[in-house]
């Protein structure tokens, strides 16, 4: 449609490109140029396939035996669900750095409402490009983004942007974009409804749009008829609702089980002091989010990625759950030093706290001689100053440079 996007297109639908396959092969360069199928044991079904395998007709949900007939040269990779969940969580956190209004649909897709982020980050199309670049830098995988005024149009736009693209559909171009499409592409229209509409001679979205509403309702029912008519004209009144997906084992309103943050350096870093300053900044970000959510965690995980994209993750479980910046930073520093990296050049560093639980359920055991008021109270004083004066008002002295 267009590469421009303004405040009238605040909805982003971000869909990872062949997510499971991309994650499965990203650290295996020998598989980058060959067809790959994820899952699909001898009698199983295909979980995902990369684009080279899709060129042979392989699709997710397809029986493995058929997939092997279509593409006998494909390499079959077993799924690593823990890895998929970890990468997905990091991607969702990238989204939440852009806007708090993130509606997670599944491990590999989400809707974002960026209307509150335009002043800070630029127009929606620019935000889309920033998100794509960040995900590529941090996770070494790609995504496609649809940018539109409504959820349903943004969803369709991301599909048209694949792979690794951005498509903006301005309000004045919605009907030009929608009406040539097959009616089965409308968001939420399944194969059964598509077949029924085709039998009625309604093949394209334009056919549905130009059918009188009452005629359509008599054919398919009042509710479905009105719903289809609205979608055909891009009239989708649904709003993006901030929530996690049941794919993570979470429902709307349930607390997250882990929180983390990571940063890709502008250039590869081999200086311990610089790396640990970034670890402190990331830790401060994570613990601030934890305190807002009212949770504390025991397990600290440090991730480092080297210049050649090799990634190492190390974890340590503390004796007590905490949301205190200095306690978690001290643990993360211990994990970093234990790696013995010396002058290894790093591309990325990340900090995550896992095993989160409501803070009121965590009982802190005071140590003999410990000050009554310490780092925890200091963190909360910083939180109060941040809420009043902004995130740059108070920060550790080592981060002032």
Which residues does the annotation mark as catalytic?
A: 109
Using DSSP, state whether 314 is helix, strand or coil: strand
Residue 284 buriedness (CB in 10 A; 0-12 / 13-18 / 19+):
buried
Alpha helices in 240-342 (DSSP H): 272-293, 325-338
Cα–Cα distance list, 96 to 74, 84, 102, 259 (Å): 36, 18, 7, 11
Query: Any known ligand binding at 113?
Result: no
Bridge-based pairing state of the strands 166-168 and 143-148: parallel
Using CA atoms, how far apart are residues 187 and 12, in angstroms rounded to an integer? 15
339 token code pair: 């790696």
378 token code pair: 């200091």
Q: Which helix (H) or strand (E) holds 77?
A: strand 75-77
Name which of 72, 122, 75, 65 is nearest 98 in CA terms: 122
Cα–Cα distance list, 69 to 44, 57, 66 (Å): 14, 10, 5
Using CA atoms, how far apart are residues 327 and 330, in angstroms rounded to an integer? 5
Query: Phi-psi category of 362—alpha, beta or left, where left has phi over 0 and alpha has psi -120 to 50?
Result: beta
Buried b (16+ CB within 10 A) or exposed e, 130-161: ebbebbebbbbbbbbbbbbbbbbbbbbbbeeb
Name which of 314, 286, 274 is nearest 399 in CA terms: 274
Return the DSSP state at 171: G
Q: What is the DSSP string of 200-268?
A: TT--BHHHHHTS-HHHHHHHH-HHHHHHHHHHHTT--------B--GGGT--TTPPPSEEEEEEEEEEE
Q: Which residues are annotated as a binding site for Mg(2+)?
A: 15, 108
Q: Which residues are annotated as a binding site?
A: 15, 108
């Amino acid at each position: 449609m267009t590469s421009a996007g303004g405040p009238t297109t605040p909805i982003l639908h971000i869909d990872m490109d062949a997510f499971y396959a991309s994650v499965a092969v990203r650290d295996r360069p020998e598989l980058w140029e060959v067809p790959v199928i994820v899952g699909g044991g001898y009698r199983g079904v295909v979980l995902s396939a990369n684009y080279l395998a899709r060129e042979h007709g392989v699709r997710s949900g397809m029986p493995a035996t058929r997939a092997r007939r279509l593409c006998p040269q494909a390499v079959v990779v077993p799924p690593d669900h823990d890895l998929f969940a970890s990468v997905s969580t990091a991607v969702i956190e990238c989204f939440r750095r852009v806007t708090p209004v993130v509606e997670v649909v599944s491990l590999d897709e989400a809707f974002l409402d960026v209307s509150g982020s335009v002043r800070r980050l630029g127009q929606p199309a620019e935000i889309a490009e920033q998100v794509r670049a960040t995900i590529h830098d941090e996770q070494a995988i790609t995504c496609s983004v649809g940018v539109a005024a409504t959820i349903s149009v943004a969803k369709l736009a991301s599909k048209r942007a694949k792979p690794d693209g951005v498509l903006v559909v301005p309000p004045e171009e919605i009907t030009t974009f929608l009406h040539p499409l097959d009616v089965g592409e409308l968001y939420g229209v399944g194969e059964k409804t598509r077949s029924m509409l085709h039998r009625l001679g309604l093949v394209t979205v334009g056919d549905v749009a130009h059918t009188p509403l009452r005629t359509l309702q008599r054919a398919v029912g009042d509710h479905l008829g009105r719903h289809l008519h609205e979608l055909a004209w891009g009239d989708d009144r649904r709003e993006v609702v901030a929530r996690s997906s049941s794919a993570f084992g979470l429902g709307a309103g349930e607390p997250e089980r882990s929180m983390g943050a990571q940063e890709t350096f502008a250039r590869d870093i081999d200086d311990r002091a610089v790396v640990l300053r970034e670890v402190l900044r990331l830790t401060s970000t994570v613990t601030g989010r934890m305190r807002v959510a009212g949770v504390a965690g025991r397990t600290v995980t440090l991730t480092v990625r080297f210049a050649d994209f090799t990634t190492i993750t190390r974890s340590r479980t503390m004796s007590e759950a905490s949301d205190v910046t200095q306690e978690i930073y001290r643990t993360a520093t211990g994990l970093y030093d234990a790696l013995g990296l010396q002058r290894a050049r790093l591309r990325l560093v990340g900090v995550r706290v896992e095993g989160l639980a409501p803070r009121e359920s965590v009982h802190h055991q005071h140590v003999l001689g410990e000050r009554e008021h310490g780092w925890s109270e200091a963190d909360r004083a910083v939180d109060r100053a941040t809420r009043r004066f902004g995130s740059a008002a108070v920060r550790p002295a080592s981060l002032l440079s």
